[in-house]
Chain A
Amino acid sequence: ETGVTQSPTHLIKTRGQQVTLRCSSQSGHNTVSWYQQALGQGPQFIFQYYREEENGRGNFPPRFSGLQFPNYSSELNVNALELDDSALYLCASSFDQATAKNIQYFGAGTRLSVL
């Protein structure tokens, strides 16, 4: 059983650019959630994808968007990057929607630096 994998591991961009982060979910999982973790803070929920549809969104602007593919892998896209977007982006997968019963399994994250 493969775990959650994210790519790339590190990324450096400049303000105004666009970025795409990728996540492969754990085998058998159909739900992917994305989180932003600023330095020294806990993760903040961006959105969740369940069977290729957005299924819940946190307090993030529309320039944060996502996709989920038929194999349940997912992308997080961020447009018009701002300095405050610098953070660790975590992907988590679960079997069905994340609840107390359906545990989320996290990847190691992508460290994004915006200069």
Chain B
Amino acid sequence: GDSVTQMEGPVTLSEEAFLTINCTYTATGYPSLFWYVQYPGEGLQLLLKATKADDKGSNKGFEATYRKETTSFHLEKGSVQVSDSAVYFCALIHDNNDMRFGAGTRLTVKP
């Protein structure tokens, strides 16, 4: 079945560092891909999405490109802030309503 694999955390960076969180997927057909962020004590918030190959999702300085050839959807940000500290989840969905999530990557940004 469909699955998502994320790089293991935790990831600790200094403020203004470059961020990459790797995400690869296994799926039949053409799923849609998402990044969600979870701040402490809160639910998941949609960060960005891409619905077809070569689409680039972007929001709040974060970007990810849907790479069909490498089945990847890596999350990047050029300069992280302390407020970006959270857990990040990569996810996919087909039209069957069953959204599959990766295990999550905890990011800590130090001042």
Contacts and interface: CB of A to CB of B under 8 A. Distances in A.
A58 B98 contact: yes
Chain A interface size band reads 20 to 34
Contact of A98 (B4, B97, B104): B97
A106 B44 CA distance: 6
A33 B99 contact: yes
Q: Is the interface of A mostly helix, strand, loop or mixed?
A: loop
Contacts, number: 63
A105 B89 CA distance: 14
A99 interface: yes
Contacts of B100: 45
B22 interface: no
A43 B93 contact: no
Interface residues of B, number: 25
A2 interface: no
Contacts of A55: 97
Nearest to A94: B97
A101 B4 CA distance: 20
B32 A100 contact: yes
B4 A42 contact: yes
A108 to B, nearest CB: 5
